[in-house]
Amino acid sequence: MSYKREECGVFGIWNTGNPAEKIYFGLHSLQHRGQESAGMTTTDRSSLKHFAGMGTVSKVFRKSSMNIIPKLSEETFGGIGHVRYSTAGASMRDNAQPMVAAYSQGEVAVAHNGNITNADILREEYESTGSIFKTTSDTEILIHMLAKPAHINKTDTIAHVMRHLDGAFCVLYLFPDRIEAARDPRGIRPLSIGKSQDGAWCVASESCAFDAIGGKLVRDVEPGEIVTLSDDGLSSRFFIEPGSVKPSHCIFEHVYFSRQNSRVFGENVHIARKNFGAQLAIEHPADADVVIPIPDSGTASAIGYANQSGIPFDMGFVRSHYIGRSFIAPTQEMRDLAVRLKLAVIKEAVEGKRVIVVDDSIVRGTTTRGKVRDLRAAGAKEVHIRVSCPPLKFPCFYGVDFASKEELVANRMDMDALCRYLEADSIGYLSVDGLLSCVNLPPENYCTACWTGNYKAPTHRARSKDAMGSSHKMLFQIEDVR
Amino acid sequence: MSYKREECGVFGIWNTGNPAEKIYFGLHSLQHRGQESAGMTTTDRSSLKHFAGMGTVSKVFRKSSMNIIPKLSEETFGGIGHVRYSTAGASMRDNAQPMVAAYSQGEVAVAHNGNITNADILREEYESTGSIFKTTSDTEILIHMLAKPAHINKTDTIAHVMRHLDGAFCVLYLFPDRIEAARDPRGIRPLSIGKSQDGAWCVASESCAFDAIGGKLVRDVEPGEIVTLSDDGLSSRFFIEPGSVKPSHCIFEHVYFSRQNSRVFGENVHIARKNFGAQLAIEHPADADVVIPIPDSGTASAIGYANQSGIPFDMGFVRSHYIGRSFIAPTQEMRDLAVRLKLAVIKEAVEGKRVIVVDDSIVRGTTTRGKVRDLRAAGAKEVHIRVSCPPLKFPCFYGVDFASKEELVANRMDMDALCRYLEADSIGYLSVDGLLSCVNLPPENYCTACWTGNYKAPTHRARSKDAMGSSHKMLFQIEDVR
Amino acid sequence: MSYKREECGVFGIWNTGNPAEKIYFGLHSLQHRGQESAGMTTTDRSSLKHFAGMGTVSKVFRKSSMNIIPKLSEETFGGIGHVRYSTAGASMRDNAQPMVAAYSQGEVAVAHNGNITNADILREEYESTGSIFKTTSDTEILIHMLAKPAHINKTDTIAHVMRHLDGAFCVLYLFPDRIEAARDPRGIRPLSIGKSQDGAWCVASESCAFDAIGGKLVRDVEPGEIVTLSDDGLSSRFFIEPGSVKPSHCIFEHVYFSRQNSRVFGENVHIARKNFGAQLAIEHPADADVVIPIPDSGTASAIGYANQSGIPFDMGFVRSHYIGRSFIAPTQEMRDLAVRLKLAVIKEAVEGKRVIVVDDSIVRGTTTRGKVRDLRAAGAKEVHIRVSCPPLKFPCFYGVDFASKEELVANRMDMDALCRYLEADSIGYLSVDGLLSCVNLPPENYCTACWTGNYKAPTHRARSKDAMGSSHKMLFQIEDVR
Amino acid sequence: MSYKREECGVFGIWNTGNPAEKIYFGLHSLQHRGQESAGMTTTDRSSLKHFAGMGTVSKVFRKSSMNIIPKLSEETFGGIGHVRYSTAGASMRDNAQPMVAAYSQGEVAVAHNGNITNADILREEYESTGSIFKTTSDTEILIHMLAKPAHINKTDTIAHVMRHLDGAFCVLYLFPDRIEAARDPRGIRPLSIGKSQDGAWCVASESCAFDAIGGKLVRDVEPGEIVTLSDDGLSSRFFIEPGSVKPSHCIFEHVYFSRQNSRVFGENVHIARKNFGAQLAIEHPADADVVIPIPDSGTASAIGYANQSGIPFDMGFVRSHYIGRSFIAPTQEMRDLAVRLKLAVIKEAVEGKRVIVVDDSIVRGTTTRGKVRDLRAAGAKEVHIRVSCPPLKFPCFYGVDFASKEELVANRMDMDALCRYLEADSIGYLSVDGLLSCVNLPPENYCTACWTGNYKAPTHRARSKDAMGSSHKMLFQIEDVR
């Protein structure tokens, strides 16, 4: 898959030794949810300590190795962390999270995963009453709302704030004396509760973060629930009537985003993907000699496909582990080669064979076509593309940064044309119903908008990627150079 | 002098080619006003571009040499810049200025020099109505006040905001279509208007910034005045009745802060210092063989003293030009040597002589005593200390970061004791009246609070350095590591 | 596998456009052969350009992105490159290759892969006649030998030099007007000849480097052969009588070192590994529910094992792609967790199952035991370890940096004890004969010394890892800090 | 003065605690002798530790602040250091000194100040017998000569090596068990012996280095002398018959290079410069109102001139302390301004006055003319240039990197034309005889070749700056990027 990664990952822990190390490991395991910035905030029960920067978790915190992590752990016992993939315009250092601020009640830090679809409306409303915004991120509104005097007077400020929000959101507030973690009423993005080896309560975007610190998943934060992690342990309340809103889990978390060892929406990602592959084999069989994945995201589905079809599984591509930001090649020829560095064909695995290639999705199609060409150049007799999800046709307003609608190749041509465009011998996509039959919850509990256009949560269209560039409030801020 | 440098420097220019380069040069010439962070914001008439970082101007902008400066100049034609010396708590990257934000009227950037003495009061007031603060800097309140709906409705928002402020302040607001520059009613800190070689209007903390871009000083911004730099040229208005408040210029700008080639409060700094030295020779003569300065800040006064007294002037110390942040020496012996690296005695210039040493001020006394010892070790027969300002006894609430009252050696002992403490043969300080007789304006037009305790502008004592640590709103934010 | 990576990778190309980019891509594809330093030298036919540094290829050359690579390409048309894994003592910037020097015939650069077993003897001999050494690397002797007047007078200096060397070596000399590439008489390490898309001759440690630049493998450099790449094309000669020495290819290149898409010693690495896995299933069957690899190096063998045994293949571990140099965790608990970040168990893939885990080798055993424990914690009912090569028992003197003999767990206990130590239900290693039956060449054409102790090339035992620390010539040079 | 700085500075110390810190301070005080690279090597009596890099002393060693300096001091007790100004071609990291190598007798490090005029001849001779050179620096030959078997057999190898060298050289060899320090037979460059506070013997290019570590100058190393610093204390021998060669001290050390607080060739630099100024006032009086220096190098001479003439001394320029490597201004207008940032005119000090400006020398004349124009723009009525040395007309072959002969303005025009070119009202240079009358030693003991063309030491003209570019042995090595 060539599109941009989505969203963000959040992690919080309370009442543990060395909190900064645990947050570090938790964030590291969530790194696939965002590589653009990383940060964490810890508390010593009276004030906050903070560090954030551009880049991956290990890049941001490595710099000062012996220093920053121990300093953030010193005299502290809990905190929150964040990894981020920028979804808006230029990447900016000031948008790195957690975001820390002081307000009338003291200090607070916020880490947020998702997309608040009425953020622009709220922002305009707050600006009109005098608020100033120092970043372009949705997250800043979460602090403004918390600080509003009318909200402070409410019995439950956080619940009140949450009820104003539309869209997909998992919010972690860190106060000096507690963490409050809330999940949107539809539970679009995952958020789970865990326990560390030393018995500390944790929250995380995915359960793999609990594994990473030697802990365990306890349960999911329910849609519409707020959980408080404090010295009194874990307590829970709901900001909407439980069950009053139908859940709408993003099934793309299973298809692509979440990590294979995570348990999201009640089941394991790897198993779900194998099921997708098996179902794909039923829906779109092919007469072939070998099934190969586009590693690593297509591997589980390819195994499922191979098991179901009885066609042998093999690795046809080698993935490089050393791809970093490389230099910008001045010629097109060189840029084409640079793409090939990431996945190299194993000629001997495909030569003279009829090959089924399993990928998790197709966005623009150019990357896929490049792989088809590589396979043919290596001597593959036939190339059959199998995709473990339905065709992507609609933008996501809940936190995923696909290409624009016009760029999505499935909007531009029908299956026959696409097959020819990709220079494949056949192509098969998993059906929506087939996909939904592979997971545990009832079909109506999932969001499938990117395939069907059926948006269940309000979208306030202004937040679409296409519209964002025009906002007069977008500061162009040159990225901090290191 | 060993105390911390004060304040900040600001620079703005409108309607010029390559604005970022001119701001760079302007800031560079103001570098003595703050080395902790540097930044600039430019405008293309519809949106702002911004870059800031920790360190000196050349360090911050060098990194990306061929890149950042040209990018900030591209399609822009004006902007503002800032150099900063942190006066509050830990130094923080987020406190670097200009500070940029979006509010209901669009984007704005602010650069500020001075100390708003009622900032804490205002901050509390704004927090109580829901404002959030992301930095610990006074400057943020300047944007909040601008954004307040009640203020936006005023005929002249900026004037209205300025009238709410107490203390010392020179504020530059950059909007996409203009710069607004305001100076406090007492004119405590300097702020001047100039013109560049290509006829562009400029504002700067000191006139040396106009020299640096090949331009010229035109006049000072008057106390209580707001000037607008826009495509319509320069226009002026007052936010208080002109003349309704007596000026109170910080005479320490002449003694120490301002650069020798600047013209502040209507006269040249170098000439003022020579006058101080001459007056010092009248008030505190000494029978000696040579007059030497503590370079570079004591040089002008030493020349003035030598001319007046007829005793030959010479250089007795060599200043190193290569002092940067050096390693932290693990032993006391090594730390003592490190101090000596900066100023080395020329033995042959002082050996066997009765030496008058002219310095601009004494804070804790330890540095001065070290110099006396160095001179004796080099063979000086007598060492007479002459200080070109009165004894420092009171904290400054208008932007200068002296040591605390307890640390000021002049509070801890009388002249005899001080002379013995410094191991000098005699000591003489310039008198307040003597000092005031050396400058052009009437004595009552200057602030002399650090010597006399006579504070003319409201101080709201809470803002004293001593009190600041206790504020519960001070975030401890670990400095950005590079 | 937890032991240190071996060796180095070399790449050379002649008569092409943008040589530096092609060398960059070639080195990138050889990155698995050494991540400690990277460098390249190009020629404009009259003089050499050079750049090298510590770190991976993309780290070293990224820094100056738009700069270094184009500069190295400017007016040049060929060159050589090197990636390196330090095998001796502290890693040192000065040991980065290619090594460049001037001698009586002009300039020369050398890139070397392997281990010259008589290097110490030669070094001592040259020192005794006045040579000085500025590095601790074997490579420096290769230039001294070239520069020796007695050698320059020989008809074929390079051939003469090669005849003096013992051990494993692939040497690339770059002169302003040609590349000379030589391989040791036993062909211990691989070295191949290829052609780029634009018809330029290339040499590389592995054929994957030709794929990376869109080129093709032509043939291997023969043991004892020297090939010259010049404006006259490719020419060949032998420095020993062809066939006079029996080849002794390092079969560990197939087991672990070489990349899956490379063709070394005449056959593809991925296919060889699948064969190893199949043979392993024959030699050591197990009654189990699933076969999982330690990714990525065990994946091919696990597929081979699964195919042969009929037991389903699955992924039981997820590998993190974001492992970099992380901070040093201060507690043992945290260090244990850090190891787990790299490979996380997919609980649902192994829970309640009898699991066969295929790995490529076992060195100290601690990592393997950690994996067994992780699988049991995830609920695996049985864990059967299968290793796709024989037990490692002897040090390598030909360029591989294993642990010391004492550390190799297979020397410390028999199979039963090892099985208990690893906490496994059973353990099975591939036999030497079984392994050799899986590859194309006659068994006697391979080096199996690390399993059998049968060293075919002179070892001059002094060069063993154990002995090296004692040399009085080892400079301790603190690594260049970045 | 605008020409490039010369040479290098060396420092060595034996038998002290924290040797690395003392070397750091010593080098720091010698920083004016070279800012391009810095390095040091220490010894624990059996092996050497080394660290070097590009940039100033504080930049190179700051990076790792708490790390490198303590590591270099750990278990060591002596060592040598070097600061360097590149005189040859591109600046290269590998040319940073000390240079460390292993040879038949063990390890050795060399730090060198000066210019060996027969280096090319020696280099060619050594290359013809098989030596290889990894740098373009003269210094490498000093190790090759040491390592030559024929030399090792001599009773006194170092003395033997020294007798082969022509030109100006001060060489420090560090062996694990001692330092050997030698100075050329003419004593062209300074080299002194000192003692630290804790009684350790030191050698340094200038005595200011002893002051910097709290020590004292003992005496100069004599021309043709070798001193050994070892556990037996200090011992001395001569490699030529003492007195057999007339000294030829570079008087430019007094005029410009050496630091004002140093004592070179038996007298203090500051005093010598004041004498030059006084003599200049006798030779070239002027009817004027004020004498101002070009700071800092012209300050002492200007004081001397003012004292002698009775015309008041003042500062007319302010020097910026924040000049670093700034960005490269894209326009000429901006580049002109950049030059002005370093020295700003104090308008009020010169306005309406007849001004005498004292500078230490004039190379191309453009900088001087710029200053004259600045003074006129500031309102000076007359500008009289006085130069405290004779006109520079000849290249230096002994270590100083002047402009080429053609660029030296004094070769291109007579005094009248020069005065017009500089746009001055008058110009006066100190005479050679006048200059020599100001210093203690007999006139024939100084080298005045840059003014008179009278070269006393062999120059082997090939070593002139003009010829150096043509050597086929100059590697183009791209500088290490940081």
Please state the domain extents for chain B.
9-245, 270-441
Q: What is the pLDDT of residue A324?
A: 53
Question: Closest chain A residue to B71 measured between Cα atoms?
Answer: A478
Strand, coil or helix: what is C13?
strand
Which is higher by pLDDT, A406 or B455? B455
* Residues paired with residue B100 on neighbouring β-strands, in sequence order: B109
pLDDT average, residue stretch D8-20: 95
B139: pLDDT strictly greater than 60: yes
| Residue spans of beta strands (DSSP E) within C74-137 | 78-84, 99-103, 106-116
> What tokens does C131 get?
């040579």
For the segment C283-303, the average pLDDT, to the nearest whole number, is: 96
Cross-chain residue pair C50–D477, CB shorter than 8 Å? yes
Mean pLDDT, to the nearest integer, of C24-48? 92
pLDDT at A336 over 50: yes
- Over residues C158-169, the pLDDT tens digits come to 999 999 999 999
CB contact under 8 A, D131 and C129: no
Q: What is the pLDDT of residue B64?
A: 52
Q: What's the confidence (pLDDT) of residue B36?
A: 84
More reliable by pLDDT, A168 or A339: A168
Q: Out of 3.40.1160.10, 1.10.10.10, 3.90.550.10, 3.40.50.2020, select the CATH number for domain B270-441.
A: 3.40.50.2020
Between CA A120 and CA A113 the distance in angstroms is 17
Which residues of chain D does C143 touch, with a Cβ-Cβ cutoff of 8 Å?
Answer: 132
C-alpha span between B205 and C112 (Å, rounded): 61
pLDDT digits (tens, 9 = 90+) for B379-415: 999 999 999 999 999 988 888 776 678 888 999 999 9
Residues A332-335: contacts with CB under 8 Å, at least 24 apart: A333/C197, A333/C214, A334/C18, A334/C21, A334/C25
* Cα A154 from chain centroid (whole Å): 33
List of chain A residues whose C-beta atoms are within 8 Å of the C-beta of residue C341? 25, 28-29, 212
Pick the residue with more confidence: A476 or D92? D92
Does the beta-carbon distance from B481 to A68 stay under 8 Å? yes
Tell me which residue has tokens 């780290």. Answer: C59
Residue D208 labelled as part of a binding site: no
Q: Annotated catalytic residue: which of A8, A170, A202, A208?
A: A8
Task: Kindly list the residues from chain C whose CB atom is less than 8 angstroms away from the CB atom of residue A208.
Answer: 318, 344
In the DSSP assignment, the letter for residue C214 is: T
Residue B335 has pLDDT above 80, yes or no: no
Is A208–C268 a contact, with Cβ atoms under 8 angstroms apart? Answer: no
Kindly determine whether residue D69 and residue B338, on different chains, have CB atoms separated by under 8 Å: no
Residue of A nearest to C70 (CA): A330
**Which H or E element spans position B283?**
helix B269-283
- Position A92 scores a pLDDT of 57
Kindly list the catalytic residues of C.
Answer: 8
pLDDT band (50, 70, 90) for residue C457 = confident
Find out whether D438 is annotated in a ligand binding site: no
A127-141, A263-277, B192-206, D261-275: segment of lowest average pLDDT = A127-141
Å from B471 to nearest chain A CA?
Answer: 10
pLDDT band for position D391 (50/70/90)?
very high
Residue C418, C-beta contacts closer than 8 angstroms, at least 6 positions apart: C365, C409, C410, C427
How far does D481 lie from chain B, in Å, by closest CA? Answer: 12
C-chain CB neighbours of D129 within 8 Å are 130, 149
Residue C161 near residue C142, CB atoms below 8 Å: yes
A46: nearest CA in chain B?
Answer: B472
Q: Looking at CA atoms only, how far is residue A237 from chain B in angstroms?
A: 25
Q: Measuring CA to CA, how many Å separate A339 from each of A319, A346, C25, C31, C69? A: 11, 16, 11, 16, 18
Contact A149 B133 (CB under 8 A): no
Determine the Cα–Cα distance for residues C303 and C277; give it in Å rounded to an integer: 7
pLDDT band at A266 (very low <50, low <70, confident <90, very high): very high
Mark yes or no for CB contact B473/A102 under 8 Å: yes
The set of chains that have 3 or more CB pairs under 8 A with B is: A, D
Measure in Å the smallest separation between the Cα of C241 and chain A Cα atoms. 33
Percentage of residues in chain C with pLDDT exceeding 70? 88
The minimal CB distance from A61 to the residues C213, C268, C327 is found for: C327
Task: Specify the pLDDT at position D49.
Answer: 92
* D contact set with C (CB within 8 A): 47-51, 53, 63-64, 67-68, 71-72, 94, 99-104, 106-107, 127-134, 143-144, 147-149, 472-478, 480-482
Please say if the pLDDT value at position B378 is more than 90. yes
Q: How far is C213 from chain A (nearest CA, A)?
A: 6
> Poorest-confidence range of A422-426, C337-341, D210-214?
C337-341
| D463 pLDDT above the threshold of 80 | no
**pLDDT > 80? residue A117:** yes
pLDDT: which is higher, B381 or C70: B381
With contact defined as beta carbons under 8 Å apart, do D31 and D7 qualify?
A: no
pLDDT band at B328 (very low <50, low <70, confident <90, very high): low
* Residue A151: per-residue pLDDT: 95
Give yes or no for residue B363 having a pLDDT over 60.
Answer: yes
pLDDT tens for B154-177 read: 999 999 999 999 999 999 999 999
B123 CA to centre of own chain:
24
> Which of the four pLDDT bands, split at 50, 70 and 90, describes residue B59?
confident
From the list A56, A197, A296, which residue is nearest C322 (CB)?
A56
pLDDT of residue C89: 38
Structure tokens at B148: 């307040």
Residue B194 has pLDDT above 70, yes or no: yes
Residues C304-326: pLDDT tens digits? 999 999 999 999 999 887 765 44
pLDDT at C234: 98
Helix (H) or strand (E) holding A338: helix A332-342
Pair of tokens at residue A69: 């992590």
Position A404 scores a pLDDT of 74
Q: How many CB atoms lie within 10 A of CB C241?
A: 9
For C136, the token pair is: 């601790």
| pLDDT score of A90 | 42
Q: Which residues of A192-210 are buried (b: 16+ CB within 10 A; e: fewer)?
A: bbbbbeeebbbbbbbbbbb
pLDDT tens across D402-454, in order? Answer: 667 888 899 999 999 999 999 999 999 999 999 999 999 999 999 999 999 99
Please give the DSSP secondary-structure letter assigned to residue D134: S
Give pLDDT tens digits for A145-162. 999 999 998 999 999 999
Q: Please state, in angstroms and as integers, the Cα–Cα distance from residue D461 to each residue in B302, C393, D117, D118, D398, following that order.
A: 49, 64, 8, 9, 11
The most distant pair of C-alpha atoms in chain D lies apart, rounded to whole Å, by 73
Q: What is the pLDDT of residues A185-211, one digit of tens each?
A: 999 999 999 999 999 999 999 999 999
Q: Which uninterrupted H or E stretch holds A354?
A: strand A354-359
Tell me the β-bridge partners of B102.
A133, B107
Model ipTM over 0.95: no
Please tell me the predicted confidence (pLDDT) of residue D191: 98
B131's tokens = 């404002």
The residue among D391, D342, D408 whose CA lies nearest residue D371 is D342
Min Cα distance C212 → chain A (Å) is 6
Judged against a pLDDT cut of 60, whether residue A461 lies above it is answered with no
User: Is B372 or C114 the better-scoring residue by pLDDT?
Assistant: B372
Contact B102 A64 (CB under 8 A): no
Q: Indicate the pLDDT class of residue C462, thresholds 50, 70 and 90.
A: very low
From the list C226, A176, A155, the residue with the least C-alpha distance to B474 is A176
CATH of the structural domain B9-245, one choice from 3.20.20.70, 3.60.20.10, 3.90.1580.10, 3.40.50.300 = 3.60.20.10
Candidate from C64, C132, C482 with C-beta closest to D144? C132
Contacts of D313 by beta carbon, 8 Å cutoff, 6+ apart: B303, B313, D290, D291, D292, D302, D303, D306, D307
Q: Which of A71, A100, A477 shows the shortest C-beta gap to B50?
A: A477
Between CA B253 and CA B275 the distance in angstroms is 15
Tell me the binding residues of B for Mg(2+): 297, 359-360
Contact state of A28 with C324 under an 8 Å Cβ cutoff: no
**Could you give the CA distance from residue C225 to residue C218 in angstroms, rounded to a whole number?**
15
Active site residue B8: yes
Q: Which of A268, A274, A325 sits opposite C62 (nearest CB)?
A: A325
Q: Residue D477 has what pLDDT?
A: 44
Sign of torsion, CA D367 D371 D376 D378?
positive
Q: Of B36-40, B55-59, C437-441, D418-422, where does mean pLDDT reach its minimum?
A: B55-59
CA distances from B273 to B210, B280, B393, C40, C125 (A): 21, 10, 21, 59, 72
How far are the Cα atoms of B66, C115, C226, C474 from residue C118, in angstroms, in the given order? 50, 9, 20, 16
Closest CA to C151 of C138, C161, C166, C140: C161
Confidence of residue C23 (pLDDT cuts 50, 70, 90): very high
pLDDT digits (tens, 9 = 90+) for A222-245: 999 999 999 999 999 999 999 899
- Position C331 confidence tier, pLDDT thresholds 50, 70, 90: low
Cβ(B108)–Cβ(B146) below 8 Å: yes
Which residue from D53, D103, D131 is facing C147, i.e. has the nearest CB? Answer: D131
Rounded to an integer, the average pLDDT of D69-92 is: 79
For residues C135 and C92, the answer to whether their CB atoms sit within 8 Å is yes
Quote the DSSP letter at residue C444.
G
Compute the average pLDDT of residues B72-76: 91
Report pLDDT for A236: 98
> Which pLDDT value is given to residue A243?
86
Query: Which chain D residue has its CA at the smallest distance from B312's CA?
Result: D307
Mean of the per-residue pLDDT values for chain C? 88
Beta bridge partners of A63: none
Percentages helix, strand, coil for chain A (3-state, rounded to 5) are: 30, 25, 40
Lowest mean pLDDT among B37-46, B404-413, B429-438, D18-27: B404-413
